[in-house]
Structure 1
Amino acid sequence: MAELKHLSAIIVGVKIMFDVALVSQLRGAQCHVLRFVPTKFKNKMSFRMHVRKFKVQGTITTNKLNGRITALTTQSSSWSQYIANYRALRNFASKLSDLRSRIVEVSERNRRYHLDIADQAIYNNINLMSVLGNTLSRSTEGATDDWANELDVPNDNINEPKVVALVGMYGSGSTHVREIYKHQQTIKRFDSYLWITLSQDVNATKIFMDMMKQLSGDSSSQPEYTGEDELAHGIQGKLKRKQFLLVFDDLWTTQAWHSIKRALPQDIKKGSLVIVTTEIVHVAKDCTESVDHIYWVQQIPKRKSFNRLKEYILVSGNSKMTREDKEDFEDLELESLEVPEPPFNTIEQVLRKCSGLELAIQALGQLLASKPPQRWGKLCDDLPSLLYNNHPMLKDIRKVMIQRYNNLPPYLKPCFLYLSIFPENFDIKVETVVDRWLTEGLVRDRTGMCHRAVAQEYLAELFDRSMIVFSKLRKNRSCKTCWIHPMMRDILVMISQEEKVSTTIGPRKSCSLLVKRLRHVTLDGQSERKLARCVDLSGIRSLTVFNEPSESIAALICSSQLRALRVLDVSNARGFQITQKDIRSVGELRHLRYLNLYRSNICELPSSIGMLPFLQLLNVRKTLITKLPREVTQLSRIQSLRASRRTEDFCHNRRNRCCCDSGVTVPKGIENLQDIEWLDIVEIKDNHGSKIEALGKLASLKHLGLTALQWRTAKKTNLQESHIMSLERLPCLVMLALLDNSYISERLIFYAKAFRELKTLEIFRVPKLKTVIFTEEAVPQLRSLAIRYCTLRLKGENNLKLRYVHLEGGVKIGITEKMNAL
């Protein structure tokens, strides 16, 4: 029996390595096949079917292997079953050997034909997130925007035109600029006006010829010369010593910018302006002299969206509205949508679907106008299908969004497609996205970088391409949550089902799927049919819960068909609570890698938690747990362990009650978790010295949160200055949080060469601490300092290179002037 279990464990490990390699190689090769096939063949049904078979080959193979692994590793009370499984291992081993040879063959073929995919970041030498933060602080909302003031601010360099870039998703920058452009043409402020619409494949010669025609004022005339250099010189001659307004609309690459900017003259009249619209932040950065000349185009506000939607519906030439309906619709006000009444009760839903995107407002306005108001509700329900199946009135917006998706590099497509599991208009936590990408194996190896850093670069590149946008920022301007446009999500959902990736089960959602075997399933409310009748449970790798499903979570976990599950996330469950009963059998999910029970009503983890050998992330924050079981120390692969208990207590000002996080007690043996990188919140009280010493042995630890919430006790058993020295030796620690009486000495000194990698320090509610001293060369990487609800003095501040400082309470410091500058 022991030999069988040992051999099965070895095969599981080997299989994990093989399935990642196989899927990566097959998908990579498929992407390159598509690049070299002429467009006219891509639309042929036979070719599309062949590509689809090629694409899912890796997924089918891994599903079969997972089924075999589950059968081999499932415990059985019958010795005959053990013997049968043991005999099956020989056949299984031969299949693995054949699989390995296929992987090597595909890999060699990729190298032979130079098909290896380079997944390095497309932007260089800029801090993208910094650029994004600066850009968001200069956003636009209409024709009277701050960016329009650039028309009145001449360039410091009198010999060159000023270049301003507008960044927005799905062509929203074009709409804003066009209003300004038309207004400037009306007042005739500039000597020359040029509007150049670009494409993804820029032909500099054609662009220069278009510019010459606009400058000559005759669109039918042909330039005297057709050479690229000659045309560029001709344009410079016509714009020389003139004040002009030039718009390059929809720029895709920096290479295109460098090829077309050659036509810009050097000797111009003061006040000339070049406006570039793009969806890519690093392209905008390359066009401008400074990030101060980059502006983010926000989505149209709700009231303005409502008025534009009404306008598009009313002026449509094929309106199906009756005279009475049209009169009622003209009188409709935005405030009346709060209590919707038929037949216009779907307008609020349409506005959410548009989410302030001009292209979406125009398309849906024309679509609604083509049907009587009584059918608008059905139209909204069918919108995802109509959009994906290229309805004539939605073809423009579909073309734009599909083009943006297809233009993603191969390593980003599965990551972006994975976001379809989240509901419409949902604020997606960036931290959750990164953790789940890592757990699902969607992040590739990159030389010299850890997987988390690579995942964060993937996320940054999606921001860079305006595929996702910020929805909430932290106080230090870093991104907390992100958002996908609802119509782009609709396309992702349809692609996910077609590619057998994911689906959502809920009211009127995917209850009768043509494809039953999908890897990722989202439960978003009550369904008329049981989950087992909608999808094949044995193929599910991740299960995410948002609204209470038809079946209990406990029944799903106990299901013998769900044994291959890797991700269980109930952190966003709304309208119901996960209880102790629901997770009683969680130890049966032997392949689980991600378990998120955030804000659930559990009071303890079952002892079977130690039977999850592959678990990488465990989140039990804001639960009722007070201590972790000793079986947690058996989770040798755990990388993130986040635990805290909800407690109602008075806030620092003692005026209001609030929900605070208290720490949990960790068991002895915590030092066994050598792969752990994130550990919070650990309660330090009894035997605190041995615990701190154990924490000091966690060589991979990067984030550590300590607390000792003892408002009603006078025991001095908390962290002291001598214990900090045990943590100084942690080579990877980048974040340290001292919370709620966790430190009881009056002085805290950071000595030279201590905490070499520490970047973030937080000190909250530590009343006994009176002085914090930073000696020379201490914490050289510290960039963020937050001290709240403490009365203390800060010394040695000149030794710090801080970028973010947040202080609350009676903190006396000597860096007031420096902080004001920050």
Structure 2
Amino acid sequence: MEIAVGALSGMANDLPGKLGELLQEEYNLLSGVRRDVVFLQSELGTMNAALIRCDSIENPDSQTRTWVGQVRDLAYDIEDWIDLFAHRFDGGRQNADYTSGVFQWFRRGFEKLKTLPARHVVATELQDLKARVSELSEQRKRYRFDPPTGYAGGRSGSGIDPRLTAFYADSSRLVGLDAPVEEVAKMVLDNGNIGLKVVSVAGIAGSGKTTLATEVVRHLGKQNHFHCSAFVSVGQKPDIAGKTLKSILSQISDGYGGGEDVGRLIGMLRERLQDKRYVIVIDDLWGRAEWSTLKCCFPNDNIGSRIIVTTRNDVLAKECSSNLGECIYKIGLLSDADSRDLFFNKAFGKGNGCPDYLRDLSNQIMARCQGLPLAIACIAGALAHRSSKDEWEMYASNLLPDSHSDGSNSLKQVLNLSYNDLPSHLKACMLYLSIFPNNYEIDIEHLLRRWIAEGFISDGRCANRVDTARSYLTDLISRNMIKTLHLRDDGTPSSCTLHPVIHDFIVVKSMEENFVTLVDAQQEAGSMNNSTIRRLSLQNSVRQDQAVAQNDTMKHARSVTVFGYASGVPLLTDMSVLRVLDLEGCKGPVCLDGLCKLLLLRYLSLRGTDVSELPAQIGDLRCLETLDVRSTQVKELPASIVRLENLMHLLVGNAKLPGEIRKMKALVTLSCAVVGKSTVNVIQELGELGNLRELELFCDATEICGDKKQLSFPSDGFSSLKQLRIHSSLPLVAFVTSSLPNIEVLEMKFEEGLPDESSGVSGVENLRSLKHVSIEFSQNGSGAAATVASVRNAAEMLHPNHPVVSVIIDGMN
């Protein structure tokens, strides 16, 4: 069993910095508190170094695993203490506007007296934390956490690499590879190109990249296209000189003459490949540095030599391939028919059918494998010659059960390579996806905001955190850990999901690290383990469910996500350090008692619930960054909402905004309704929000149709707006000269066109930065056609940038 450190090292690494920021604040600390904070800062830095060492141990003992678990809990508690600290000492001082020195002196004295009890509590808690740190530090000295003598590193375990079977696979028993082999072979040959060419094969772990490359070389070998060939696996911990280069030399000639110098080995390789048409497979490439060295080994004699690279990283595949990334083959998954053939051949033997009593379970297992060859082969192999229905049911619900079967261990071993290659900040983001059910379509914008609310994004500048989070997501997608489902008009992903095999894998990892606690409807609250819950995902909640047991396990919860009925939501009054509360789509009544006491709450989604009113004091949630109440019964927001100075994403749909919305300077994303009579004033206020980048407006044009008034955007304001979405019953929109200077994406959705068949939309050509226009009508008609024609003419004929126009009428493109 590998030790589960994962994302913890990243969080522990951030804590010394957060403690340093705390020391820089001008708080009236009791004597000794500042010294204790400095002590924690120093000890946590050393402890994080020990965690990194523990993470390298292949088979840790129970003492080491226990110690890591204790450090994890301590790190969480210290971060909670830091985040709550400021709220205990604000004392309303942010509202102070006194300029007189006398007033300031009296006020400081008053605040010091008023917060004296809180400061004693803080000091006591700090002493407890210090004692725990000291004890764990002593444990680290008492117990040895170093790798055993002679340990050479590596995380692959003692088992045989499952990829080795690809080298010696019986071609006649492979399925689903005929077309890919022909296609890649055609890319490799490219008879019109005599220069050295690199073809990359990229795909998810276990998709058959190694098998495909092997079969391509076999196929080409039969046709005698090349003078020599070599196949070498680089791996996650490469030994370029000691293994990789020597292996290539030994395959293309009788020997390599000894020596360990990389430069000498490269020279020997180039010499022996000179004037030879060769094909070299560089399998399982992970890093740019290794490729930079390897590509120096291969001379280009313009005689048609080829290199095939396999990798799990799409970005690396593009960097390696020829023709600016065009020579890439993205390997897909098996079809249902090929999956069935592979599974039945492995599980029951070639030519044998599936017993009737196992047919439904076989279908469930294949559905979870979702065409991933390695998963199908490993699980079917593990179940071969096993007739127990219980064992088959275990895999039908989770492909990686808590067992020691060779099948699941081999699969875990391959997936572990991808997971271990992630830096700590990406491990946290990846594990977080275990919150969502299997095959769940994850909205990317919501995911990014939740990552930020959880503190996974290290960039402290608010304006850049979304961009940083998006770069994390892009990295995970390029590593084939996350699969994109849908794209926006501008080409960016709008939703994503996980392959069921990867989902099952990260669920196992999350449970090992106590990162997420998953509770299913069939699981009784009493059957939950006694570990402290940090993140709760309540899945398949049904109407009769009772709330999760209220005890000490919930008081440290940082996030609660519920799928199903809201009756399972724990009491909010018991979760003082909650950062994320996501009840999107929950059915039944929602209890918000105690909501305004969640001082650390940063993300609140009540979208699609039965909520009809928000608490009047919601403005007390000063840390709140995202509020989503779309598709609810909320008609109007409380006036206190404008006090939320940190709110970046306000998504209220058809709800009416309060006055003085201009005070919410931090807003980046806004979805709201504009009422006909106050449209001008609302638009003017919104235009003053200098950080606003995305705006969604819901308008009821029926109130103003008679006067032919339009939703008009002025020439000033909206300086940062990039995307605008308008929902209205009728097309009554105008853009004056120089309005929305930085708008790039414009989306307009109307129910029907104007009865007099006029356009109703004017000034699109005035949006100088526009790149894409999307116009949609629910109903077809001459009025809709007139509007579409006018918008097309403005975009394609009058606009200097000729933005792309997409049209949907009555659900048809």
> Where on the TM-score scale, by shorter chain, does this alignment land: which range?
0.7 to 0.9
* Contact 1:502/1:518 (8 A) holds in 2: yes
Compared with structure 1, are the counterparts of its residues 493 and 28 closer, same or farther at alpha carbon in structure 2 (3 Å cutoff)?
Answer: farther
Report the equivalent of 1:151: 188
Amino acid at match of 2:660: G
Once residues 292 and 19 of structure 1 are traced to their aligned partners in structure 2, the CA distance between those partners, rounded to angstroms, is 58
Which shows bigger deviation, 33-42 or 407-416? Answer: 33-42
For residues 345-401 of structure 1, give each alpha carbon's deviation from its aligned partner in whole angstroms, at most 9, with x where no partner exists. 2112211332222221111011111521423344326856645x6543322221222
Compared with structure 1, are the counterparts of its residues 68 and 713 closer, same or farther at alpha carbon in structure 2 (3 Å cutoff)?
Answer: closer
**Is 1:424 the equivalent of 2:438?**
yes
Residues matched between the structures, number: 694
Report the equivalent of 1:176: 212
Report the equivalent of 1:342: 357
* Contact 1:166/1:275 (8 A) holds in 2: yes
**Is 1:284 the equivalent of 2:317?**
yes
Aligned match for 1:56, one of 73, 81, 104: 73
**Is 1:209 the equivalent of 2:194?**
no
Report the equivalent of 1:90: 119
For residues 241-270 of structure 1, give each alpha carbon's deviation from its aligned partner in whole angstroms, at most 9, with x where no partner exists. 433332111101111111112221221423
* Contact 1:719/1:742 (8 A) holds in 2: no
* Contact 1:200/1:251 (8 A) holds in 2: yes
* Contact 1:517/1:539 (8 A) holds in 2: yes
**Is 1:707 the equivalent of 2:716?**
no
* Contact 1:420/1:496 (8 A) holds in 2: yes
Amino acid at match of 2:685: A
Compared with structure 1, are the counterparts of its residues 147 and 626 closer, same or farther at alpha carbon in structure 2 (3 Å cutoff)?
Answer: farther
Matches within 5 A, 1:47-126: 47-63=64-80, 88-94=117-123
Amino acid at match of 1:170: A
Once residues 19 and 441 of structure 1 are traced to their aligned partners in structure 2, the CA distance between those partners, rounded to angstroms, is 24
Report the CA distance between 1:784 and its aligned residue.
Answer: 2.4
Amino acid at match of 1:782: L
* Contact 1:750/1:774 (8 A) holds in 2: no
Report the equivalent of 2:144: none
For residues 648-691 of structure 1, give each alpha carbon's deviation from its aligned partner in whole angstroms, at most 9, with x where no partner exists. xxxxxxxxxxxxxxx43322222222211111132241122222
Once residues 624 and 453 of structure 1 are traced to their aligned partners in structure 2, the CA distance between those partners, rounded to angstroms, is 32
Compared with structure 1, are the counterparts of its residues 410 and 328 closer, same or farther at alpha carbon in structure 2 (3 Å cutoff)?
Answer: closer
Report the CA distance between 1:59 and its aligned residue.
Answer: 0.8
Amino acid at match of 1:674: K
Amino acid at match of 2:714: I
Once residues 542 and 23 of structure 1 are traced to their aligned partners in structure 2, the CA distance between those partners, rounded to angstroms, is 26
Aligned match for 1:224, one of 249, 257, 260: 257
**Is 1:489 the equivalent of 2:487?**
no
What is the SS of the residue equivalent to 1:416?
helix
Matches within 5 A, 1:652-667: 663-667=654-658
Once residues 542 and 535 of structure 1 are traced to their aligned partners in structure 2, the CA distance between those partners, rounded to angstroms, is 15
Once residues 641 and 13 of structure 1 are traced to their aligned partners in structure 2, the CA distance between those partners, rounded to angstroms, is 35
Compared with structure 1, are the counterparts of its residues 20 and 191 closer, same or farther at alpha carbon in structure 2 (3 Å cutoff)?
Answer: farther
Compared with structure 1, are the counterparts of its residues 175 and 26 closer, same or farther at alpha carbon in structure 2 (3 Å cutoff)?
Answer: farther
Compared with structure 1, are the counterparts of its residues 729 and 63 closer, same or farther at alpha carbon in structure 2 (3 Å cutoff)?
Answer: closer
Compared with structure 1, are the counterparts of its residues 65 and 720 closer, same or farther at alpha carbon in structure 2 (3 Å cutoff)?
Answer: closer
Report the CA distance between 1:436 and its aligned residue.
Answer: 0.3
Once residues 802 and 28 of structure 2 are traced to their aligned partners in structure 1, the CA distance between those partners, rounded to angstroms, is 44
Report the CA distance between 1:192 and its aligned residue.
Answer: 2.5
* Contact 1:285/1:294 (8 A) holds in 2: yes
Report the CA distance between 1:598 and its aligned residue.
Answer: 1.9
Compared with structure 1, are the counterparts of its residues 716 and 515 closer, same or farther at alpha carbon in structure 2 (3 Å cutoff)?
Answer: farther
For residues 215-253 of structure 1, give each alpha carbon's deviation from its aligned partner in whole angstroms, at most 9, with x where no partner exists. 23xxxx533354544443443344334333321111011
Matches within 5 A, 1:197-346: 197-205=233-241, 206-216=243-253, 222-226=255-259, 227-270=261-304, 272-289=305-322, 290-315=324-349, 328-329=353-354, 342-346=357-361
Amino acid at match of 1:153: D
Compared with structure 1, are the counterparts of its residues 804 and 465 closer, same or farther at alpha carbon in structure 2 (3 Å cutoff)?
Answer: farther
Once residues 37 and 612 of structure 1 are traced to their aligned partners in structure 2, the CA distance between those partners, rounded to angstroms, is 39
Which shows bigger deviation, 140-149 or 343-352? Answer: 140-149
What is the SS of the residue equivalent to 2:187?
helix
Report the equivalent of 1:680: 671
Once residues 345 and 534 of structure 1 are traced to their aligned partners in structure 2, the CA distance between those partners, rounded to angstroms, is 40
Report the CA distance between 1:91 and its aligned residue.
Answer: 0.9
Once residues 13 and 465 of structure 1 are traced to their aligned partners in structure 2, the CA distance between those partners, rounded to angstroms, is 48
Report the equivalent of 1:132: none
TM-score, structure 2 as length reference: 0.75
Report the equivalent of 2:387: 372
Aligned match for 1:724, one of 693, 709, 714: 714
Once residues 701 and 19 of structure 1 are traced to their aligned partners in structure 2, the CA distance between those partners, rounded to angstroms, is 42
Once residues 735 and 515 of structure 2 are traced to their aligned partners in structure 1, the CA distance between those partners, rounded to angstroms, is 52
For residues 266-318 of structure 1, give each alpha carbon's deviation from its aligned partner in whole angstroms, at most 9, with x where no partner exists. 21423x321111011221122123221123222222221121111111239xx
For residues 313-354 of structure 1, give each alpha carbon's deviation from its aligned partner in whole angstroms, at most 9, with x where no partner exists. 1239xxxxxxxxx9551xx7xxxxxxxx63332112211332
**Is 1:548 the equivalent of 2:556?**
no
Compared with structure 1, are the counterparts of its residues 624 and 693 closer, same or farther at alpha carbon in structure 2 (3 Å cutoff)?
Answer: same
**Is 1:562 the equivalent of 2:575?**
yes
* Contact 1:26/1:55 (8 A) holds in 2: no
Report the CA distance between 1:95 and its aligned residue.
Answer: 5.6
Report the equivalent of 2:142: none
Report the equivalent of 1:787: 775
Report the CA distance between 1:695 and its aligned residue.
Answer: 1.4
Aligned match for 1:474, one of 481, 488, 504: 488
Once residues 763 and 258 of structure 1 are traced to their aligned partners in structure 2, the CA distance between those partners, rounded to angstroms, is 48
Which shows bigger deviation, 362-371 or 736-745? Answer: 736-745
Report the CA distance between 1:182 and its aligned residue.
Answer: 2.8
Report the equivalent of 1:618: 627
Compared with structure 1, are the counterparts of its residues 313 and 533 closer, same or farther at alpha carbon in structure 2 (3 Å cutoff)?
Answer: farther
Report the CA distance between 1:25 and its aligned residue.
Answer: 9.5
For residues 143-188 of structure 1, give each alpha carbon's deviation from its aligned partner in whole angstroms, at most 9, with x where no partner exists. 31344431342464x3x32111111111422233233233333444
Once residues 56 and 155 of structure 1 are traced to their aligned partners in structure 2, the CA distance between those partners, rounded to angstroms, is 62
Aligned match for 1:43, one of 50, 60, 65: 60
Overall identity of the aligned pairs, in %: 22
What is the SS of the residue equivalent to 1:277?
strand
Report the CA distance between 1:422 and its aligned residue.
Answer: 0.8
For residues 446-478 of structure 1, give each alpha carbon's deviation from its aligned partner in whole angstroms, at most 9, with x where no partner exists. 679611111111111111222212123334432
Report the CA distance between 1:96 and its aligned residue.
Answer: 8.1
What is the SS of the residue equivalent to 2:329?
strand
**Is 1:763 the equivalent of 2:748?**
yes
Amino acid at match of 1:806: S
Report the CA distance between 1:750 and its aligned residue.
Answer: 3.5
Compared with structure 1, are the counterparts of its residues 142 and 207 closer, same or farther at alpha carbon in structure 2 (3 Å cutoff)?
Answer: same
Amino acid at match of 1:643: V
**Is 1:531 the equivalent of 2:519?**
no
Once residues 25 and 544 of structure 1 are traced to their aligned partners in structure 2, the CA distance between those partners, rounded to angstroms, is 35
For residues 741-766 of structure 1, give each alpha carbon's deviation from its aligned partner in whole angstroms, at most 9, with x where no partner exists. 67746x63342xx5343222223337
Once residues 681 and 12 of structure 1 are traced to their aligned partners in structure 2, the CA distance between those partners, rounded to angstroms, is 39
Report the equivalent of 1:456: 470
**Is 1:522 the equivalent of 2:537?**
yes
Compared with structure 1, are the counterparts of its residues 703 and 28 closer, same or farther at alpha carbon in structure 2 (3 Å cutoff)?
Answer: farther
Once residues 774 and 19 of structure 1 are traced to their aligned partners in structure 2, the CA distance between those partners, rounded to angstroms, is 61
Once residues 462 and 643 of structure 2 are traced to their aligned partners in structure 1, the CA distance between those partners, rounded to angstroms, is 30
Report the equivalent of 1:695: 686
Report the equivalent of 1:338: none
Once residues 413 and 617 of structure 2 are traced to their aligned partners in structure 1, the CA distance between those partners, rounded to angstroms, is 50
Report the equivalent of 2:409: 395
Report the equivalent of 2:158: none
* Contact 2:441/2:495 (8 A) holds in 1: yes
* Uncovered stretches (5+) of structure 2, i.e. residues with no partner: 1-24, 30-34, 92-111, 135-174, 778-786
Report the CA distance between 1:588 and its aligned residue.
Answer: 4.9
Once residues 608 and 678 of structure 1 are traced to their aligned partners in structure 2, the CA distance between those partners, rounded to angstroms, is 22
